[in-house]
Amino acid sequence: MPGSLLDAAAVIGCPHGGRVTPATTPSGGALSQGVAVATAAHGYVVTGCPHTVAGVPSPCVLVRWTADGSGVTVDGAPVLLDTSAAQCFSAAFVPQGPPLVQAAQRKVTVR
């Protein structure tokens, strides 16, 4: 599936306006504009989500990505693309919609 590589510098948000960031800093042998490429092995957290259900706060707190089988791996883990399937979840693991990835052109280098 075509798409741009995700890395720690990618601008990602939850569907309600929260900010999605890596829980762990991606590292490995592939760089995208000097930043390590993200893989399915990395966790992502959400901060600042204002989502409520019936007036009760239910913010997105984490994102789970599904690598799309492009066959490209870094350190044995599939890379994440801006087109990879993903879902934001509340603290109770209730699905709350897919994250929004800001489109960007990325140049790849291999160390």
pLDDT, residue 41, reads 81
Beta-ladder partners of 77: 74
CA distance 109 to 111: 7
Q: Residue written as tokens 């490429």?
A: 37
Tokens of 9: 């510098």
* 38-91 pLDDT per residue, tens: 888 888 999 999 999 999 999 999 999 887 666 788 888 888 888 889 999 999
DSSP character at residue 76: T
